[in-house]
Amino acid sequence: MGPGQGGNGHHTEQSLRMYTEDQVAEMLQVSLSQLRKWRMKQHEGQRQGPPFRKIGRLVRYPEIALRAYINGEITI
């Protein structure tokens, strides 16, 4: 088996999946504008909306954090 194959390699590949803000807005059935507002707004020191990462100028949403947010493990 080569690198990236087998159980651990597959899990690592899935855990690195990132979504664009367009994809996340569609998944959550909210407007792109609303998603951006959540990202910018803070309430009592916490941001609203799903967790995101900045990669240079790009905004990406890690799949694992997005799933946790959708499942209610991370609250607004």
Q: Render pLDDT for 27-72 as a digit per residue (tens, 0 to 9).
A: 999 999 999 999 888 666 777 899 999 999 999 999 999 999 999 8
Within-domain flag for 76? no
Q: What is the pLDDT of residue 11?
A: 54
Within-domain flag for 4? no
Within-domain flag for 43? yes
Q: Which tops the pLDDT comparison, 11 or 58?
A: 58
Q: Residue 14: pLDDT above 80?
A: no
Within-domain flag for 3? no
For residue 30, what are the CA distances in angstroms to 13, 17, 21, 41, 44? 27, 21, 11, 16, 23
Q: What is the pLDDT of residue 28?
A: 95
Q: What is the pLDDT of residue 44?
A: 67
Within-domain flag for 65? yes
For the chain, how many structural domains are there in total? 1
**Contact between residue 20 and residue 55 where contact means Cβ atoms under 8 Å apart:** no
Q: Which residue has the tokens 């899935």?
A: 14
Within-domain flag for 2? no
Q: Is 24 exposed, middle or buried (0-12, 13-18, 19+ CB in 10 A)?
A: buried
**Nearest alpha-carbon partner for 66 in 30, 8, 45, 5:** 30
